[in-house]
């Protein structure tokens, strides 16, 4: 049933094999475009200067053109008098020359007259209108305030080389050299197809088991951002006949076909077979020795290229970046990826990576006083949140076993346009934080949900500006404050009081299993949905079970191993009938139309490193939490939420 | 005659005054666009998840869904047999549940059946078709190979906040959440006008004293790159009536008018007066305490904004970046400038900067093994080469006196799309280098022409991969090799033999002044054009003069103080009648239709740091210089050039 990836290729091998099978990846032809349409295109010609720049010795200021020797020794209290013999205005060559003791009035941008070699700025001169003379109060050195002809760009100089991606910087250079149009590479035409019976088009309703197609729009935009021309052909089902027809037709009308999905060695995979059957020599690359992106396949089909990308968006985007982009670059004659697409950053913490595969770790970048920090996102490449948080990825060589904490890495950005966060919030997720950010307004914030414990560690490592936390200390029954000592953060971080949120059991409407207490968790007819270790809610659940004499780790609780990472997953599991009960906040009962059995209020606070308290964005966040507006809106928007007397105040340090 | 800038404002003061005069810079309205057209726009809504992502517990691999306890202890030689009770395909919820000892075949992306909490990958299983069973050769932990419902994004989660610039990364998130359209800010409509009698449109011929308009296209593209909508209205002369009419009409039809040129306090400035007369309250900002960019003016004209930028392109681009962009960001509700627009880099060397003005130093970025290095470009903001080489600029606070060598600076890129150089060549300019790069092909090179001496210093500081040099040692009469010792680079850098190029006197056609030898330089009827100190040619000129008993610094040579920085400036000065004779290479005689009197051949070599010899781009450059193709083409393309027996070989180390 399954296609087996017998021999995985590394990227360079795979590109070489494709190149061989094609008889060389051909660079496309060129076309001429006007400057205004040339941004984002690849230059197809070498641009030589046809005129000097500046084309004449040009004054860079308003003042008087002189021979520098004439004003030697001139000072504030010892001016030199020069005879004014004419004027040089912009736009025309002066008709007069000057000799020693003479000057010509000159405007910024005007040509220097013959005999002059410097310009005295107007503010160091005083005109004597009657005598047609000027007093000069300052000496100048030869060349002062003058842009010499050709000093900038000279005739025949290569100003731009073919193969450059044209930003407006290059367009400005072309304009300065007098070009009004330029030869650029034709755009490769790339067909984009998404495959999979589970896919729905964004905007359509989801039926059970379906997910939205992300790759269609994402891959199309990645292609466009490179200056090529994508055509999204929509979702094609996994049906062999439909798919073969769609891919066959796409190959005829385009330079390359990119599919995503249906490439892994499993149930219902057809892309491999279709690529192989549509033309010669067929599939050349049967899988890549990279992670993610292993199930990438590539074929040469009668001279055209067909690439099958993995279905998970982050996998598809990484495989596109490392494998398809170099092919497109060759087709477009593009020499180098622009600078803005990479950043240097230090790893926030060490991780295991590499070990025989070239591994690409999506990272979220956060700025710290010591420069950029890359926070590895390990949620898996199927995750939308990885998409939302990943600014790019780091490449780990197959010979590496791990990346070290603090290691300086080159981060390849998914796009040079990803926004830079001013405020980084790492910790327990809470919709109250989102509400505060909404009120806060003009701050670009990055919110990374790793649970309360993860938040404490992030503050300790200096990565987070703020960590949301609701950790219960079993001994004191206090929330959060006892952990300042436990994490050795006294004097280094403070706790700002947040708010209370009601939590309890979520059960199906009408509570069909009649669940009342934690004791019911041990019933044979009850399946629970648990939370992940490290989360505040998990700490609470385990504490409550032990209080009534149940050791949760001994087994006997059905579903205890089923760890949801979020409140919503708990609610969704119950709504979908996969579990009977879970612990969550009341706000989610309404969203999923579930019943809620309150257990009490818990306290959600904000842990902040002392050093970040003076950061503008942090200060404004605290002010927002403390504001009357937040107090008014919190309970209205989020059921079971309320502010406390100390909300927004420092409660421990 | 002149507008005097009595009180310069810093950027923040200027923005505040504009804001006050306007009664607040208003954020424009919004419009709905489909996803495919949303890239580059600013999000005008907060995007909340309406569905969980994934919407169900989803398998991340092909294999068998199990309860993890059922396969506890399974190993390669100790498989566990499970009963296969059904299948879960993508796109639909499975109708069966599993109990202990059971499994369900599952595809990547398919929903987990009730009762399962993990998936065993297909490669660790073997199906027994007859018994309807599967052998499992590996245990799994709960949650293994499963993306739990909502683990990724949960219903009600804020996925994107308003005010973000949408890259395809955000578009992908919107697609994943099922959005097919989104609210974005309306694009501000900005009129762009270039003013100045000296300006010609790119594509038109230049008349004497004219230069091409760069700002029209450059500023328009900067506006477009931010997601606003520019309209370039062309060049308007400095004539008061024309300009007032053009600006007045532009203000009616746009949200803002940007002019460039004619703003400095000098001859023929009219912008200030026009802004003040067109409406109330008129000019609010009379100049900025920044360098470059001081003559920037800004006015509020009956509720519309008018900004006059300086005329020099680099000044205009910097003033746009630091002053106009924040205004546009407010109009667009854009919170933060994308990440790709800034880079960290270390200063290549110390410079004086700041001292009472906020100074912006254009820099060229070059990569080194220790990270990015920023090379300050000090040629002046009127220079096209500054445009061509500047990747961005560093900001120097007014309280600073200097920047230190090695200081880590944030570099604001002009565009995130500027290409990153693989090869950095710094030193004496030579068209032979451009020829080699043309043959070399797919290497993005940055060539910085600072003269031979500058090249040696750049190698010493580790900035250059290669430095072109033609320095003559007066003692040994040898080119280049003696300087390895003088610059203390023995063992740290090598010299690769380049080629010979013929140099001599350039004179007007027919040699009207009858110039023959360096003796003629002292004639009263002869004006020379000299070269800059530090250049190989200047070293040669001074050596030759001294050889015949002339101390060049004692004066007596007309034009000796007139230092051209390039061969072409020498040729242009003679062609334009500003000088009678200069020393240059023969190749430029042809370009400018001048006569050439040969003085001999000089040798142009390549200095390369030992550590860079193994760099791919450097190796390929040397191979190109040594190639038969280069030897054949050099003399044909460049008159007076020829390869040498050792060309491309190591000649000193």
Question: What does the pLDDT look like over B540-594, one tens digit per residue?
Answer: 999 999 999 999 988 789 989 777 777 777 887 888 787 999 999 998 888 788 9
The answer to whether B458 and B464 are in contact (CB under 8 A) is yes
Chain B contact for A173 (CB, 8 A cutoff): yes
Tell which A residues from 93 to 122 touch B, by Cβ distance under 8 Å. 93, 105, 107-112, 114, 117, 122
Region B362-369: mean pLDDT is 81
Pairwise CB contact (< 8 Å): A150 & B563: no
Q: If you count residue pairs, one on A and one on B, with CB atoms under 8 Å apart, how many are there?
A: 557
What is the model's pLDDT at position B393? 93
Measure the CA–CA gap between B506 and B592, rounded to whole angstroms: 10
Cut 0.90: pTM above it: no
Measure the CA–CA gap between A302 and A289, rounded to whole angstroms: 26
Chain B contact for A439 (CB, 8 A cutoff): no
Confidence tier at B629 by pLDDT (50, 70, 90): very high
Confidence tier at A38 by pLDDT (50, 70, 90): very high
Please give the structure tokens belonging to residue B323: 């002053």
Which position has the token pair 């180098």? A336
Region A442-453: mean pLDDT is 80
**Facing B152 at nearest CB: one of A61, A220, A384:** A384
- Please report which residue ranges of A23-91 form alpha helices under DSSP H: none
Question: Which residues make Cβ contacts (< 8 Å) with residue B264, sequence separation at least 6?
Answer: A62, A108, B295, B310, B311
Q: Is the pLDDT of residue A565 over 80?
A: no
The highest-confidence range among A252-266, A354-368, A496-510, by mean pLDDT, is A496-510
The highest-confidence range among A156-165, A313-322, A469-478, B547-556, by mean pLDDT, is A313-322
A160 versus A245: the higher-pLDDT residue is: A245
Please give the structure tokens belonging to residue B592: 């400018």
B518 versus B239: the higher-pLDDT residue is: B518
Closest alpha carbon to A134 in A143, A125, A145, A147: A125
Measure the CA–CA gap between B156 and B591, rounded to whole angstroms: 69
The highest-confidence range among B4-18, B203-217, B417-431, by mean pLDDT, is B203-217
Region A501-525: mean pLDDT is 96
**Facing A211 at nearest CB: one of B55, B63, B179:** B55
Region A423-429: mean pLDDT is 87
Closest alpha carbon to B236 in B195, B268, B276, B199: B195
A301 versus A458: the higher-pLDDT residue is: A301
What is the model's pLDDT at position B113? 92
Q: Is the pLDDT of residue A338 over 80?
A: no
What is the model's pLDDT at position A3? 45
* Per-residue b or e along A399-417, where b marks 16 or more CB atoms closer than 10 Å to that residue's CB: ebeebeeeeebebbbbbbb
Confidence tier at A150 by pLDDT (50, 70, 90): confident
Closest alpha carbon to B606 in B626, B631, B629, B588: B626
Q: Is the pLDDT of residue A514 over 70?
A: yes
Closest alpha carbon to A218 in A42, A38, A395, A386: A386
Confidence tier at A1 by pLDDT (50, 70, 90): very low
What is the model's pLDDT at position B586? 93
**Facing B175 at nearest CB: one of A218, A266, A573:** A218
Measure the CA–CA gap between A186 and A188, rounded to whole angstroms: 6
Taking the CA of residue A375 and the nearest CA in chain B, the distance in Å comes to: 15
Chain A contact for B352 (CB, 8 A cutoff): no
* Per-residue b or e along A365-394, where b marks 16 or more CB atoms closer than 10 Å to that residue's CB: bbbbeeebbbbbbebbbbbbbbbbbbbbbb
Task: Measure CA of the first residue to CA of the last residue in chain B; give whole Å.
Answer: 61
Chain A contact for B211 (CB, 8 A cutoff): yes
Q: Is the pLDDT of residue A430 over 90?
A: no
Measure the CA–CA gap between A244 and A259, rounded to whole angstroms: 12
Please give the structure tokens belonging to residue B631: 């030897």
Q: Is the peptide bond before A44 cis (omega within 30 degrees of 0)?
A: no
Q: Is the peptide bond before B579 cis (omega within 30 degrees of 0)?
A: no
Longest dimension (CA), chain B: 111
Pairwise CB contact (< 8 Å): B572 & A206: no
Measure the CA–CA gap between A212 and A222, rounded to whole angstroms: 18
Torsion angle, alpha carbons of A15, A19, A20, A24, to 10: -160
Q: Is the pLDDT of residue B125 over 90?
A: yes
What is the model's pLDDT at position A264? 53
Please give the structure tokens belonging to residue B142: 């709960």
CA atoms within 13 A on the CB side of A437: 27
| Domains defined for chain B, CATH in brackets | 11-26+187-332 (3.40.980.10), 30-53+153-185 (3.90.105.10), 58-147 (2.170.190.11), 340-417 (2.40.340.10), 431-652 (3.40.190.290)
Q: What is the mean pLDDT of chain B?
A: 88
What is the model's pLDDT at position A491? 95
Work out the burial of residue B600: count CB atoms within 10 Å of its CB; fewer than 13 is exposed, 13-18 middle, 19 or more buried.
exposed
**Facing B142 at nearest CB: one of A159, A561, A565:** A561
B347 - beta bridge partners? B374
Could you give the 3-state DSSP secondary structure of residue B353? coil
Chain B contact for A33 (CB, 8 A cutoff): no
Confidence tier at A2 by pLDDT (50, 70, 90): very low
**Bridging pattern class, strands B650-652 and B493-507:** antiparallel
Could you give the 3-state DSSP secondary structure of residue B9? strand
| Alpha carbon of residue B62 to chain centroid | 46
What is the model's pLDDT at position A118? 95
Could you give the 3-state DSSP secondary structure of residue A345? strand
Please give the structure tokens belonging to residue B241: 């009536």
What is the model's pLDDT at position B522? 93
Q: Is the pLDDT of residue B421 over 80?
A: no
Confidence tier at B267 by pLDDT (50, 70, 90): very low
Chain A residue numbers touching B363 (CB-CB < 8 A): none
Length of chain B: 653
- Please report which residue ranges of B320-430 form alpha helices under DSSP H: 325-332, 384-389
Measure the CA–CA gap between B60 and B106, rounded to whole angstroms: 10
Percent of all residues in chain B with a pLDDT value above 70, rounded to a whole number: 96
Chain A contact for B266 (CB, 8 A cutoff): yes
Q: Is the pLDDT of residue B8 over 50?
A: yes
Residue of A nearest to B381 (CA): A60
Measure the CA–CA gap between A418 and B167, rounded to whole angstroms: 6
B411 - beta bridge partners? B343, B394
Q: Is the pLDDT of residue A4 over 70?
A: no
Measured in degrees and rounded to the nearest 5, phi and psi for residue A312 equal -65, 130
The DSSP-derived string for A474-517 is TTT--BSTHHHHHTT-BTTEEEEEEEEEEEEEEE-TT-TT---S
Q: Is the pLDDT of residue A576 over 70?
A: yes
For residue B170, give Cα distances in angstroms to A54, A212, B335. Answer: 44, 15, 15
Chain A contact for B383 (CB, 8 A cutoff): yes
Percent of all residues in chain B with a pLDDT value above 90, rounded to a whole number: 56
Helices (H) and strands (E) in chain A, counts: 16, 38
Chain A contact for B347 (CB, 8 A cutoff): no
Region A416-423: mean pLDDT is 72
Q: Is the pLDDT of residue A623 over 80?
A: yes
The model's pLDDT over B105-121, given as tens digits with 9 standing for 90+, comes to: 998 889 999 889 999 99
**Facing B175 at nearest CB: one of A170, A212, A265:** A212
The model's pLDDT over A67-88, given as tens digits with 9 standing for 90+, comes to: 999 999 999 999 999 999 999 8
A361 versus B555: the higher-pLDDT residue is: A361
Torsion angle, alpha carbons of B637, B427, B443, A322, to 10: -170
What is the model's pLDDT at position B1? 33
Tell which B residues from 470 to 499 touch A, by Cβ distance under 8 Å. none
What is the model's pLDDT at position B156? 62
Closest alpha carbon to A529 in A539, A521, A519: A521
| Alpha carbon of residue B358 to chain centroid | 22
Measure the CA–CA gap between A92 and A90, rounded to whole angstroms: 6
Chain A contact for B591 (CB, 8 A cutoff): yes
The model's pLDDT over B191-226, given as tens digits with 9 standing for 90+, comes to: 999 998 889 999 998 888 888 999 999 999 999 988
Taking the CA of residue B385 and the nearest CA in chain A, the distance in Å comes to: 5
The model's pLDDT over A167-214, given as tens digits with 9 standing for 90+, comes to: 888 899 899 888 999 999 999 999 999 998 889 999 998 888 888 999
Measure the CA–CA gap between A573 and A565, rounded to whole angstroms: 12
**Bridging pattern class, strands B181-185 and A125-128:** unpaired
A533 versus B483: the higher-pLDDT residue is: B483
For residue A564, give Cα distances in angstroms to A483, A512, A568, A571, B56. Answer: 24, 22, 8, 10, 12
B65 - beta bridge partners? B104, B119
What is the model's pLDDT at position B390? 86
């Amino acid at each position: 049933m399954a296609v087996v990836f017998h021999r995985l290729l590394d990227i360079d091998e795979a590109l070489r094999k494709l190149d061989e099978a094609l008889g060389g990846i051909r660079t496309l032809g060129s076309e001429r475009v006007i400057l205004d349409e040339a941004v984002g295109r690849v230059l197809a010609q070498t641009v030589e200067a046809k005129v000097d720049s500046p084309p004449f010795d040009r004054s860079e200021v308003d003042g008087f053109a002189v021979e520098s020797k004439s004003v030697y020794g001139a000072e504030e209290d010892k001016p030199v008098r020069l005879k004014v013999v004419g004027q040089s205005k912009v736009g025309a060559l002066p008709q007069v020359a000057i000799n020693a003791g003479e000057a010509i009035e000159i405007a910024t941008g005007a040509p220097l007259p013959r005999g002059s070699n410097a310009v005295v700025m107007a503010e160091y001169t005083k005109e004597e209108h009657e005598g047609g003379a000027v007093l000069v109060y300052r000496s100048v050195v030869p060349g002062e305030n003058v842009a010499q002809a050709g000093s900038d760009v000279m005739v025949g100089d290569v100003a731009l080389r073919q193969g450059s991606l044209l930003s407006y910087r290059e367009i400005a250079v072309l304009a300065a050299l007098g070009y009004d149009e330029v030869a650029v590479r034709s755009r490769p035409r790339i067909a984009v197809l998404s495959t999979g019976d589970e896919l729905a088009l964004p905007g359509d309703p989801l039926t059970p088991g379906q997910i939205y197609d992300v790759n269609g729009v994402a891959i199309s935009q990645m292609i466009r951002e490179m200056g090529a021309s994508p055509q999204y052909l929509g979702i094609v089902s996994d049906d062999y006949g439909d798919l073969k027809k769609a891919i066959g037709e796409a190959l005829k009308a385009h330079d390359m076909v990119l599919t995503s999905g249906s490439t892994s060695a499993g149930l219902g995979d057809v892309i491999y077979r279709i690529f192989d059957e549509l033309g010669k020599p067929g599939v050349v690359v049967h899988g890549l020795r990279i992670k993610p992106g292993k199930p990438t396949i590539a074929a040469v089909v009668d001279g055209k290229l067909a690439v099958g990308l993995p279905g998970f968006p982050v996998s598809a985007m990484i495989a596109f970046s490392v494998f398809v982009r170099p092919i497109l670059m060759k087709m477009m004659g593009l020499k180098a990826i622009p600078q803005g697409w990479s950043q240097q950053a230090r790893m926030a913490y060490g991780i295991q990576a590499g070990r025989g595969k070239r591994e690409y770790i999506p990272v979220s970048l956060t700025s710290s006083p010591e420069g950029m920090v890359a926070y590895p996102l390990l949620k898996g490449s199927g995750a939308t949140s990885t998409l939302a948080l990943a600014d790019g990825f780091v490449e780990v060589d197959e010979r590496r076993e791990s990346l070290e904490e603090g290691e300086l890495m080159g981060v390849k950005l998914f796009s040079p346009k990803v926004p830079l966060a001013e405020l980084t919030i790492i910790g327990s997720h809470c919709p109250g934080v989102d509400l505060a950010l909404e009120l806060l307004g003009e701050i670009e914030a990055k919110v990374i949900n790793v649970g309360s414990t993860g938040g404490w560690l992030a503050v300790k490592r200096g990565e987070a500006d703020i960590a949301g936390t609701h950790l219960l200390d079993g001994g004191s029954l206090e929330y959060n404050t006892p952990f300042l000592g436990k994490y050795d953060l006294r004097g280094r971080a403070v706790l700002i009081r947040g708010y209370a949120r009601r939590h309890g059991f979520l059960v199906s409407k009408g509570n069909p299993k009649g669940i009342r207490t934690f004791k019911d968790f041990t019933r044979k007819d009850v399946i629970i949905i648990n939370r992940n270790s490290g989360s505040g809610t998990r700490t609470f659940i385990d504490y409550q079970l032990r209080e009534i004499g149940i050791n949760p780790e001994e087994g006997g609780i059905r579903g205890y191993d089923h760890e949801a990472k979020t409140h919503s997953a708990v609610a969704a599991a119950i709504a979908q009938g996969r579990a009977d009960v879970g612990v969550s906040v009341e706000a989610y009962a309404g969203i999923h139309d579930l019943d809620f059995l309150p257990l009490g209020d818990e306290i959600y606070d904000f842990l902040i490193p002392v050093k970040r308290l003076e950061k503008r964005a942090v200060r404004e966040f605290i002010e927002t939490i403390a504001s009357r507006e937040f107090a008014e809106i919190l309970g209205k928007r989020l059921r079971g939420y309320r502010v406390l007397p100390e909300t927004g105040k420092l409660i421990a340090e």
